Amino acid sequence: MKVLIVFDDVTCFSQIESLIGSLDWLTPVSRIIITTRNKQVLRNWGVRKIYEMKALEYHHAIRLFSRHAFKQNHPDVGYEELSCKVMKYAQGVPLALKVLGCFLHKREKEVWESATDKLQRILYPSILEVLKISYDSLDDKEKNIFLDVACFFQGEDVDLVMKFFNASGFYPEIGMSVLVDKSLIAIDSHKKITMHDLLQELGREIVRQESIDPANRSRLWHHEDIYEVLTYNTFYRSSVNGKNKCKISYLQDPGFAEVKYLHWYGYPLKSLPSNLSAKKLVLVEVPDSDIERLWHCVKVCISYYTCGIFQ
């Protein structure tokens, strides 16, 4: 008997095992197609060929979007540029194209303009809800790795980031492999960590939802939020990826003791302040700066942390 079986959105090996059992009853010409968010599910069942879904090419993406937004295969006249902005945001992800197409259908051009501007800072709720399924399946340490990559380490060298995660007690050897298996991150041929823009925005939106007040969030990456927090002296426990708007005096705030990662472009001094409160500081990145050493005098970090400086 020749059979074609399709299992969609499989989450664990037991689901396949319960439905199919032994493969003895299938003929060699039968085919089974399984879709899943986790490659390990396929490996557990001995799948010989794993195909990773690629983003839609532009001409396919614009057609899919147009079918939902305009009920035809191309944008209406006058909406071409706005449609291009949606293409740039969705980056070939069918879910985003369909959700946004349905939302924008028969809306005025002013609504389109407002929506495309809003998408630059806020992830559309229906898209967030679906993308968050994979995030919710992670354990706490894997979630921390995902959020740190989304907020700070997109495009960074994987070996450097692994050192940071090891020092943070996140067990990155297993954690990073889980994120790769679930297609939440990837490692390119240059050993850089990559992440789809929508997934990066998912991570950042999760952090934003921790509190309406940036000072109460676990991570800060946007220079405006960092400047606001430091200006009003409410900073106390966030990781920081900032620009040189900050003043050196803020590094001496007692609240800085909780910071593990500091990125400061163009740091103006030869060393960090000797009275810097940074007991948990793991990684300092100071590109385009003249810094020569961490401190003028010997500074003691917690023994199981390795504090490194990179220019």
CATH code for the domain in which residue 143 is found? 1.10.10
Q: Which domain holds residue 67?
A: 58-120
The answer to the question of residue 51 being in a domain is no
- The reported pLDDT for the residue numbered 136 is 96
The verdict on 220 and 287 lying in the same domain is: yes
The verdict on 292 and 222 lying in the same domain is: yes
The answer to the question of residue 39 being in a domain is yes
Distance CA 250, CA 234 (A): 10
The total number of structural domains in the chain stands at 4
The answer to the question of residue 100 being in a domain is yes
Distance CA 90, CA 61 (A): 9
Average pLDDT over residues 281-295: 74
Res 257 pLDDT > 80: no
- Per-residue burial over 14-31, b if 16 or more Cβ lie within 10 Å, else e, is eebeeeeeeeeeeeeeee
Indicate the burial class of 106 (C-beta count within 10 angstroms; 0-12, 13-18, 19 or more): exposed
Distance CA 216, CA 237 (A): 8
The answer to the question of residue 52 being in a domain is no
Question: Above pLDDT 70, what percent of the chain?
Answer: 83
Res 229 pLDDT > 80: no
The answer to the question of residue 50 being in a domain is no
Confidence of residue 88 (pLDDT cuts 50, 70, 90): very high
Q: What is the pLDDT of residues 66-76, one digit of tens each?
A: 999 999 999 99
Q: What is the pLDDT of residues 174-209, one digit of tens each?
A: 999 999 999 999 999 999 999 999 999 999 999 999
Closest CA to 212 of 197, 233, 223, 228: 228
CA 222 to chain centre: 15
The verdict on 179 and 221 lying in the same domain is: no
Higher pLDDT, 124 or 278: 124
The verdict on 288 and 217 lying in the same domain is: yes
The verdict on 195 and 148 lying in the same domain is: yes
* Neighbouring-strand partners of residue 284: 262, 309
Distance CA 223, CA 229 (A): 10
Which of 187, 203, 219 marks a domain boundary?
203
The verdict on 92 and 70 lying in the same domain is: yes
Q: Got the DSSP string for 139-191?
A: -HHHHHHHHHIIIIITT-BHHHHHHHHHHTT--HHHHHHHHHHTTS-EE-TTS
Res 24 pLDDT > 80: no
The verdict on 25 and 95 lying in the same domain is: no
The answer to the question of residue 141 being in a domain is yes
- The reported pLDDT for the residue numbered 254 is 56
The SS3 call for residue 278 is coil
List strand residue ranges (DSSP E) for the chain, in order. Answer: 4-10, 31-36, 186-187, 193-194, 219-220, 239-242, 261-264, 283-285, 308-310
Which of 203, 234, 259 marks a domain boundary?
203
The verdict on 231 and 297 lying in the same domain is: yes
Average pLDDT over residues 256-285: 74
The verdict on 70 and 151 lying in the same domain is: no
Best-predicted range by mean pLDDT (4-8, 77-81, 123-127): 77-81
Distance CA 62, CA 83 (A): 8
The answer to the question of residue 128 being in a domain is no
The answer to the question of residue 269 being in a domain is yes
Distance CA 301, CA 44 (A): 43
pLDDT, averaged across the chain: 83
Which of 75, 93, 120 marks a domain boundary?
120
The verdict on 222 and 269 lying in the same domain is: yes
Give Dmax (Cα) for the chain: 78
Secondary structure of the chain: what % helix, strand, coil (to 5)? 45, 10, 45
